[in-house]
Amino acid sequence: MKIEVQIISKEDIKPSSPTPPHLKTFKFSLLDQFIPSPYAPIILFYPNDCMTLAEIPKRLALLKRSLSETLTRFYPLAGKIKDDLSIECNDDGAYFVEAQVNCRLDEFLTKPDLLLLHRFLPCELMKELTAVTYLTNIQVNVFDCGGIAIGICISHKMLDGAALSTFLRAWSATARGCEEVIYPNFAAPSLFPANDLWLRDTSMVMWGSLFKKGKCITKRFVFDASAIAALKVVATSSKIKCPTPPTRVEAVSAFIWKCIMAASKEKHGYQTRRPCVLTHLVNLRRRMTPPLSDNCTGNLLWMAAAKCMTPDKPELHDLVGELKDAISKLDGEFVKKLSSDEGNSLMCESLKQIGELCSKDEVDHVGFSSWCNFGFYEIDFGRGKPVWVSSYGLSGSPVMNLVILVETRYGDGIEAWMTLDEQDMSNLECSSEYIKFASMDPSPLTFIGHSASSS
């Protein structure tokens, strides 16, 4: 059966109250220039909890009304980008789309087609932000059974993953009628003020160096609780013990890094030594002194970079150690320097080093971004929590090796959304070491966890 997504309506959802005149201009922080991608797309899938089809219009009206109220507090998200330094908070509103899907939700989730997921999203993902682009874009997709998929594209210049979680928690709490109202913290522009666009220009050069010729494909792999526990054991089995055991994100990231290097080596020939750089986006909020609130909006991120320069037979514990060392460098002292007078030169030098190394044809790169511990599976608009939280699939060229790590439904496993060169992906799927720990694209309906983990 061919799945069709039919657009039923489009409208602008404006804030429930006008933005005061003194808040009409919102300045971006310096770190908001770091991430070049226009949007941070995410899709939340909700089963029908005995709601009749006649009740769906009321449900949609509630989502719109609560979104309008939430935008009053998150007022920059209802504006337009004036230039790369600020937002005009003109209350134009969010772009809201209603769509109908010609199948049941459980039919789609039995074997989801990753390359169809973009149809549940309200905007062109690769489209550049312009002065007329909406910062907030929502698409509510209603399946024949009454199940719903909420596709969200919010400007990455305004929200990183943690800030997106804050917005979704605020919106869903408003929809449920919670007495405790969640407010954003807009402290980032004062902590990291931006007066020009040097970081945007420097980071664009660095990000450009990460793209390679070829064709990419996205596949989804799941590491369940037992696989993660086994990887942690392997990572700590060396006589040289790590000071602290790896987290689940560190263990899975290092293992994927190891297997991607093996896949690349198979493609280029086993006699070829190809250094590989791993980058991991790191949330800086709790690394600051004092720590920032989780409700602090913006892009409070920086990039940890680890290198494996002699990848003959790298051991997992060595790679975990390299990753831990890279992340540990982004400590409170480092973040303090970022916001000081020497911050500009520190950021510039860091990005140039990564760009110069990754621009070499003989050097591979894999980038990681973790959505774990952001609470996306706790987002409840009043009819229950999502059964699946998804990214989306890519195919085509050029190639940038990218891995997005997402918690499984019950928090004890990790989904790895991996976009790789097609041949590297094929080699990875044939790796006995890799498939020993990773399950390829199990149905979100059948893959369940048993106990939550915060490690």
Query: Can you give the pLDDT at residue 239?
Result: 56
* Contact by Cβ (8 Å): 375, 408: no
Query: Which part of the chain has CATH 3.30.559.10?
Result: 5-191, 197-440
What CA–CA distance (Å, rounded) separates 365 from 338?
25
**Nearest-angstrom CA–CA distance, 19 and 98:** 26
389-399 pLDDT per residue, tens = 999 888 877 77
Closest CA to 403 of 298, 262, 225, 254: 254
Among the residue ranges 57-61, 252-256, 371-375, 446-450, the one predicted with the least confidence is: 446-450
Catalytic status, residue 156: yes
Calpha distance 294→343 (Å, rounded): 23
Amino acid present at 207: W
**pLDDT higher for 131 or 374?**
374
Position 249 scores a pLDDT of 97
**What's the CA dihedral at 217, 39, 120, 56 to 10 degrees?**
160
Tokens of 147: 């199940």
- The whole-number average pLDDT for the span 407-423 is 94
Structure tokens at 1: 């059966």
CATH topology of domain 5-191: Chloramphenicol Acetyltransferase (3.30.559)
Query: 402-407 and 364-370: which strand pairing?
Result: parallel
* Average pLDDT over all residues of the chain: 90
Higher pLDDT pick, 272 / 66: 66
Q: What are the tens digits of pLDDT across the range 291-315?
A: 999 999 999 999 999 999 765 778 9
Residues in the chain, overall count: 455
| Rounded Cα distance, 129 and 155, in Å | 8
Annotate 179-238 with three-state secondary structure. CCCCCCECCHHHHCECCCCHHHHHHHHHHHHCCECCCEEEEEEEECHHHHHHHHHHHCCC
Angle at 402 between CA 398 and CA 404, to 5 degrees: 145
This prediction's pTM:
0.93
Residue 125 — very low, low, confident or very high, per pLDDT cuts 50/70/90? low
Mean pLDDT of 118-134: 68
Under DSSP, the state recorded for 117 is G
Closest CA to 301 of 290, 286, 322: 286
Whether 429 has a pLDDT exceeding 70, the answer reads yes
Residue 14 or residue 208, greater confidence = 14
Number of other CB atoms surrounding residue 12 within 10 Å: 12
Asked if residues 251 and 228 have their Cβ atoms less than 8 Å apart, the reply is: yes
What's the confidence (pLDDT) of residue 454? 34
Whether the CB-CB separation of 367 and 403 falls below 8 Å is answered with yes
Report percent pLDDT > 70 for the chain.
93
- CA distances to 217, 312, 423, 426 from 266, rounded to whole Å, are 18, 12, 10, 11
Q: How far apart are CA 420 and CA 280, in angstroms?
A: 16
φ, ψ dihedrals at 281, nearest 5°: -75, 135
Task: Check: CB of residue 169 under 8 Å from CB of residue 379.
Answer: yes
Known catalytic membership, residue 450: no
**pLDDT of the residue at 450:** 37
Task: For 299-358, write each residue's pLDDT tens digit.
Answer: 999 999 999 976 577 899 999 999 999 999 999 899 989 888 888 899 999 999 999 888
Q: What angle do CA 9, 12, 14 make, to 5 degrees?
A: 145
Asked if residue 220 lies in contact with residue 417, where contact means CB atoms within 8 angstroms, the answer is yes
- The H-or-E segment that residue 253 falls in is helix 248-268
Contact between 443 and 387 (Cβ < 8 Å): no
Give percent of the chain above pLDDT 90.
72
Q: Which of 32, 156, 364, 424 is catalytic?
A: 156
Q: Per-residue pLDDT for 176 more than 70?
A: yes
Query: Given this model, what pLDDT does residue 455 score?
Result: 34
Report the alpha-carbon distance of residue 266 to residue 252 in Å, rounded.
21
Pairing of strands 136-142, 148-154: antiparallel
Residue 272 has pLDDT above 70, yes or no: no
SS3 content of the chain, % helix, strand, coil (to 5): 35, 25, 40
Averaged pLDDT for residues 180-203? 93
Rama region for 62: left / alpha / beta (φ>0; ψ in -120 to 50; rest) = alpha
Q: Determine which one of 106, 294, 318, 380 is catalytic.
A: 380
Contacts of 201 (CB under 8 A, 6+ apart): none
Spatial separation of the C-alpha atoms in residues 69 and 52, rounded to whole Å? 26
Q: Does the pLDDT value for residue 32 go beyond 90?
A: yes
The three-class DSSP label of residue 151 is strand
- Gap between the Cα atoms of 450 and 207, Å rounded: 39
Cα angle for residues 103, 8, 40 (degrees, 5° grid): 80
Above 60 in pLDDT, residue 212? Answer: yes
Lowest mean pLDDT among 17-31, 42-56, 267-281: 267-281
For residue 107, the model assigns a pLDDT of 95
CB 434 within 8 A of CB 259: yes
pLDDT band at 369 (very low <50, low <70, confident <90, very high): very high
Q: Which fold has domain 197-440?
A: Chloramphenicol Acetyltransferase (3.30.559)
Which of 13-27, 45-59, 116-130, 173-187 is the least confident region? 116-130
CB 10 within 8 A of CB 140: no
Amino acid identity, position 103: C
